[in-house]
Amino acid sequence: MGRLSVSSVRKSNRGKKPPQVNAHWIVGLSEIKIPTNPLEGKIYLCSVLEGEFLVGSVAVKETDLDSLSQEVESICKKPQLGAPRRPKTILFDNRTKHKKVKIILEQIEVTTGNAPELDEVIDTFVEFMQRMKKEDKWDYDEYPADLMEMFFRITKKWVEVAPWVGIYDYELFEISSEKLKMKKWYASVLGNAGESYGILLFQSRSSYEEFHNFAKKASPSKQRGGIKLKTPIIALNLDESHFVDKNLRKAAMVNHWPVHSPKFFPSLEIYSGNTRSMPPGDIFEMVTKIFAAMLVFVSKYHFQENPEQETHEINLDKYAFTITFPVYLNEP
């Protein structure tokens, strides 16, 4: 699920120590009440806690509910918080009471029982989804059709190129444009962990550092009420379609806007304080051109095991961008 959350920021696996095996994890399975396609069945949330910290979470379709072994194994390999590791023991709290669900992992002791520690995680998720439902009443007809078509076409190309395969979220794009009055904006590409996909766009170094510092300290209790930031950030979310505002899905279908697949449905939002909204039309257009310029840069960049910094001038229509990658503003 690509929706912006503190778990979207992941520490890199590059150069980390071997996985630890002395931790105790709590794994919870709970049904989540969100609008879905009736043919797809119910959606469940699998959450993994280590102490008070949320190690990872993944949405699971009812049709895939025979076992959670694969989901937990994937979180071991690519946790959303910290380095790869395997727990010594797991307490499985199956709140759905599905008898067929099992967790079987090599050399890990799995027991079942009640874990009240999960209550806050689940409540926070439900609260977040309810807030989304109240806010998702935007009118997409106010945006020019050609702009929306361009946004969908460019984001579809992003998914096809899949730059997150070779890019970590702390390897930033530094972007400037004199015509757009942009000076050293920063973009973080999400997706290397295989959980959240998209791009976070920060209007300054201090904006990035504020979000990064918040994410480093994140725990389930600190996530309550959403991400509260002093400086607005812009997020391209690539979500499974059933997590996306139904008005946007309908508009895309009616206007035949190109979508890569239901797994990568795009939306663009501004996060300010603890609220989220659609960006104004001029910002929407500017950000879409930034993503297009980043695509051109990626096509020029020489990817390698130890990335070297490159700077390219990108001319796009009437706009000129100077893009540098990778830029490091914090240690991985």
Confidence at residue 274, expressed as pLDDT on a 0 to 100 scale: 63
CA 3 from centre of chain: 5
Confidence at residue 279, expressed as pLDDT on a 0 to 100 scale: 80
Tens digits of per-residue pLDDT, 77-100? 877 777 788 899 999 998 888 777
The answer to whether residues 174 and 186 touch, using CB atoms and an 8 Å cutoff, is: yes
Residue numbers in the chain where pLDDT is lower than 50 = 1-19, 136, 219-225
The answer to whether residues 67 and 1 touch, using CB atoms and an 8 Å cutoff, is: no
Tens digits of per-residue pLDDT, 111-148? 999 998 888 777 776 666 665 555 545 566 678 889 99
DSSP letter, residue 18: P
- HSE-CB at 274 with a 13 A cutoff on CA atoms is 10
Tell me the domains of the chain and their CATH numbers. 10-134 (3.30.420), 138-327 (no CATH)
* Confidence (pTM): 0.63
For CA atoms 7, 8, 14, 15, the dihedral sign is negative
Which of these, 237, 249, 234, lies nearest to 283 by C-alpha position?
Answer: 234
Residue 247 falls in which region: left (phi positive, over 0), alpha (psi -120 to 50) or beta:
alpha
| Residue ranges in 261-325 assigned as alpha helix (H) | 281-300
Confidence at residue 160, expressed as pLDDT on a 0 to 100 scale: 93
List the structure tokens of 57.
Answer: 């979470």
